[in-house]
Structure 1
Amino acid sequence: MTETRKKFKKIGITAGVISGLTYGLYTTFVLIAGNYKPLAGAGEVIPGLAGALILAYVTSGMNDLFAGLWLTIYNFKTGRIRELGRSLKLFPGKISLVGSFVGGPIASGAYILGLNMAGAYAIPISAMYILFGAFFSRIILKQKIVPRVGAGMLICVIGAVVINWVKPEGSSNFTLGIIFAFVAAVGWALEGVFAAYGSAMLDSDVLINIRQLLSGIVDLFVILPIIGGMGLLGDTMQSVPPVAWLLLSGFCAAVSYLCWYKSNSTVGCAVGMSLNITYAFWGVLFCILFVNQPVTPTIIIGSVIIITGAVLVSVNPMELLGKKEE
C-alpha cells in the first residue's frame, strides 16, 4: 500500500511539473508564431489597439481551437467523446461554460495581448491568478484567508511592483500590457471557481475539451468578425509557419491542462497549482532563450518573488514540519 501511494504521488508530481513546462512552451510558441507573416506585420497594417486586439484574438483563437481539436482526438481515443454533448445538457456543464467564456475569450485573449505588449514581463503577472483565486474563494465560496495566504498575496503584489519598477526600452505599451496580464489573472481565477464546481461532478478531461473548443470558436467566429479581423485570420490560415507553430502551441496547451487536472486529482489542488505555477519560470526562461527577451534584474527578481508568493498561497510550509496551520 505504501509503495502504491508513493507511485501515485510520483505520477501526480510528474504530471504537475509537465503541466508547468508545457504551458511555458505554449507561451513561447505563440510568441514565435507572431514573428512570421502575416502576423508579424499586422501591427503596421492595423496600428494601435485595434491591431493589437485582432492579432491577439487570431493567435489566441487558433491556439485554443487547435488545443480543442487535439483534446477531441484524445477523448475520442479514450471513449469519452459522447460525454461532450451530455455534459453540456447538465447544469454543472452549463456553469463550466460560463467559466470557459471568462477564462477563454476574456482571460486568454488578455494574456496574449499582454505578451504582445509587455513580452515575458506579462508571464509572472498572469501567474498571480492564484492570488485572485484565493480572494474570490473568500468572497464567493466563503473560504477563510489564513495568515499564510495573506502573506503570499502580499509577496505577489511586491513581485508585481518589482517587475513594473523599470520600464523596458522601446516598449511604448508596456504598462497597458501589464494591465492586460492582470486581467488574464483575474479571468483565470474566476474560471477556476466555476470549473471547481463543474469538475466536481463531471469528467474534467471532457470539460477541458469543451472549454478549449468554445474559446477558439468564440474568438475566431464571434469576436474577430466584430473587430474586423477575418482578413488577418484568412491570411494566417494560408501561411504554413504560423499555423505550424500554433498547432504546436495548441498541443502544448492541451497537454498542460490534462496534466494539471491529473496532478490536482492525485496530489491535491494545492500542490498541483504550485507545480503548474512554475510556468512563470519556464515561460520567462524559454522567452530569454528562444524569443530574444532581454534579461533584466527586475524580470528575474520579480518572477522569483511572485512564484514564491504563489507557492505560499497554495502550499502550507508548516505541513512539511508536521505542524498544523492556525
Structure 2
Amino acid sequence: METNVGAKGNNRALADKKMAALNKKFHRQGVVNGLLSGFTFALYSTIVAIAASYEPLISAAGIFAAPFVCSGLNDFFSGLWLLIYNIKLGKTKELMRTLKTKSGQMLVLGFLIGGPLANGAYLMGIAMAGAYAIPISATCSLFGTLFAWIFFKDRPSKRVILGMILCVAGAGIIGYAKVDNAPNFTLGIICALIASMGWGLEGMFSSFGGSMLDSDVTVNLRQLISGLVILILVIPFLGEVKLLVDTIVAVTPALWLVVSGLGAVFGYLLWYKANCQAGVAVGMSLNVTYAFWGVLLGVLFLDQPLTVNIVVGSIVIVLGAIIVTTNPLDFFKKGDEA
C-alpha cells in the first residue's frame, strides 16, 4: 500500500513539473508574440504611410481623402487575407454564426467605432503628423480603462491612475514638438487622440462581447466590416470614388496596401495569441511597444526627424501604457511561478 502511495506521489510530482515547464514555455511564447505584434503593428502603419507617398494619394485634396482611401483598402485587404486563412482552417461558417449572436453584434458596434472612425483618424494623424502620431495612439489603453470606469463602474487602482497620467504627459510632450515638414502637426496629433479614444471604446465593447468567441473569426469580421463600410459608404459620401479607383489603377500604392493589410493580419493575430498565452495585461503591455517601433521605422524609412520631444514622449507613453495594463512586477512573478 505504501509503495502505491509513494508511486502516486512521484507521478503527481512529475506531472506537476511537466505542467510547470509547459506553462513556462506557453508564457514565453506569449511574450514573444506580444513583442512581435508591437513590431508588426508599427510595420503595417509605416507601409501605409509609404503607400500614401505615391500618386494619386500624395496629391489628393482635403485632409480626409487619402487617409480614408488608405484605411479602407488596408482593412479590406487585411480582411481578405484573413478570409483566405479561415477558409483554409474551415471556419467560414463561423463568420455568419458569430454575427447572429448577441456577443457578435456587440462586437460589430465596437468594429464600427474602432474601424472606420478610429482607423481613419489614425491614418489622418500619420498623414499630417507623420510617424509621431503612432505613440499618441498608444494611449488607447488609457481611454479603455477610463471608459470601463465610466460605463462599467470598474474603478481603476492608484497604479492605473498613475499610468494614465503618464500617458497624457507623454502625449503632451510629443504634442509640443515642432516638426518642420509637418505643417498640420498639431491637427495630426488631435486625430491620433481621436483614434486612441475610438480604439479605447472598441476595446471596451470587445471585452464585453468577445471573450467567448474565436479571435480568428472576430478579427476577420472586424477588418472586413471596417474595410467595406469605408469603401462602400464613407468614400462615396466624401466624393472620393475617383481617388479610390485611381489608386487601384496606379497599382503601386495598391500593392503597398495589400502588403500593409498582410502586416495588419499578423499584428492582430499575434496580439490575440499573446493575450491568450501570457494574459491580456501582459499582451497589451507588450503590444503598445509599437509606439517605439513606429517612431524608429519612421526615422529609418520615412525621413522623419528624431527630436528629444519625440524620444522622451514615446518612452513616457510606453511606460504609462505598461503601468495602466499591468503591474511591471508581474512579469518577474509569472516567470518565477511558471
Q: TM-score range by the shorter chain?
A: over 0.9
Query: Which of 65, 69, 93 is the matching residue for 2:104?
Result: 93
Shift >6 Å, 4+ stretches: none
Residue 237 of structure 1, CA deviation: 0.6
Match of 1:146 in 2: 157
Determine whether 1:166 maps to 2:184: no
Residue 322 of structure 1, CA deviation: 5.8
Determine whether 1:225 maps to 2:236: yes
- Counterpart secondary structure, 2:156: coil
Tell me the matched-pair count: 316
Match of 2:22 in 1: 4
Match of 1:106 in 2: 117
Q: CA RMSD in A?
A: 1.3
Match of 1:35 in 2: 53
Matches within 5 A, 1:149-228: 149-228=160-239
Could you tell me which amino acid in structure 1 is paired with residue 237 of structure 2?
Answer: I
Q: What is the distance in 1 between the residues matched to 2:228 and 2:92?
A: 18
In structure 2, relative to structure 1, the CA distance for the partners of 1:99 and 1:238 (3 Å cut) is same
Match of 2:6 in 1: none
Could you tell me which amino acid in structure 2 is paired with residue 5 of structure 1?
Answer: N
Alpha-carbon displacement from aligned partner over 1:58-80 (angstroms, at most 9, x marks no partner): 00000000000001011111111
Residue 198 of structure 1, CA deviation: 2.3
Match of 2:43 in 1: 25
Matches within 5 A, 1:35-74: 35-42=53-60, 46=61, 51-74=62-85
Could you tell me which amino acid in structure 2 is paired with residue 21 of structure 1?
Answer: F
Q: What is the distance in 2 between the residues matched to 1:93 and 1:320?
A: 32
Residue 3 of structure 1, CA deviation: 1.5
Query: Which of 307, 317, 325 is the matching residue for 1:306?
Result: 317
Residue 172 of structure 1, CA deviation: 2.5
Q: What is the distance in 2 between the residues matched to 1:107 and 1:320?
A: 30
In structure 2, relative to structure 1, the CA distance for the partners of 1:322 and 1:246 (3 Å cut) is closer
Give the TM-score normalised by structure 1.
0.94
Residue 318 of structure 1, CA deviation: 4.3
Identity of aligned residues (%): 50
Residue 107 of structure 1, CA deviation: 0.2
Match of 2:15 in 1: none
- Counterpart secondary structure, 1:52: coil
Q: What is the distance in 1 between the residues matched to 2:46 and 2:181?
A: 20
Q: What is the distance in 1 between the residues matched to 2:172 and 2:242?
A: 39
Alpha-carbon displacement from aligned partner over 1:87-120 (angstroms, at most 9, x marks no partner): 1111111110000000000000000000001111
Unaligned runs of 5+ in 1: none
Determine whether 1:121 maps to 2:132: yes
Larger Rg: 2
